[in-house]
Amino acid sequence: MFKITDDILYIGVDDNDIDLFEGQYAVPNGVSYNSYLCFDEKIAVFDTVDKSKKEEWLRTLDKALNGAAPDYLIISHTEPDHAACIPAFLERYPAAKVVGNEKTFIILNRFFGDLKAEKLIVKEGDIIDLGKHKISFIFAQMVHWPEVMMSYDQTDKILFSADAFGKFGALSHEEDWLDEARRYYINIVGKYGNPVQGALKKAAALNIQKICPLHGPTLVGDLDFYIRKYDLWSTYRPEEEGVFIAYASVYGNTAAAAEKLCAELKARGVKAETADLNRCDMSRAVATAFKYPKLVVASVTCDAGLIPCTEAFINKLRSKNFSNRTVGFIQNGSWAPMSAKIMRTAFESFKAVSLCGVTVTVNSALDEQAYKQLNELADELAV
Rounded average pLDDT per 10-residue block, the chain, 383 residues: 97 97 97 98 98 98 97 98 97 97 97 94 98 98 96 98 98 96 97 97 97 98 97 97 98 97 98 97 98 98 94 98 98 93 97 97 96 98 96
Classify domain 243-382 at the CATH superfamily level.
Answer: Flavodoxin domain (3.40.50.360)
CATH 3.60.15.10 location in the chain = 2-234
Contact 233, 290 (CB under 8 A): yes
Query: Start-end ranges of CATH 3.40.50.360 in the chain?
Result: 243-382
pLDDT of residue 246: 98
Q: Which residues contact 49 (CB under 8 A, 6 or more apart)?
A: 12, 13, 33, 34, 35, 57, 81, 82, 84, 85
Residues paired with residue 351 on neighbouring β-strands, in sequence order: none
Q: What is the pLDDT of residue 50?
A: 98
**Model's pTM, two decimal places?**
0.95
- Which pairs with CB-CB distance under 8 Å and at least 24 residues apart come from 175-178? 175/29, 177/216, 177/217, 177/219, 177/226, 178/229
Quick check: bond before 133 cis, omega within 30?
A: no
Residues 227 and 222: their CA atoms lie apart, in Å, by 9
d(CA 329, CA 334): 17
Q: What's domain 2-234's architecture?
A: 4-Layer Sandwich (3.60)
CA 105 to chain centre: 25
Angle, helices 177-184 vs 223-234, to 10°: value is 30
Q: What is the predicted pLDDT for the residue at 116?
A: 87
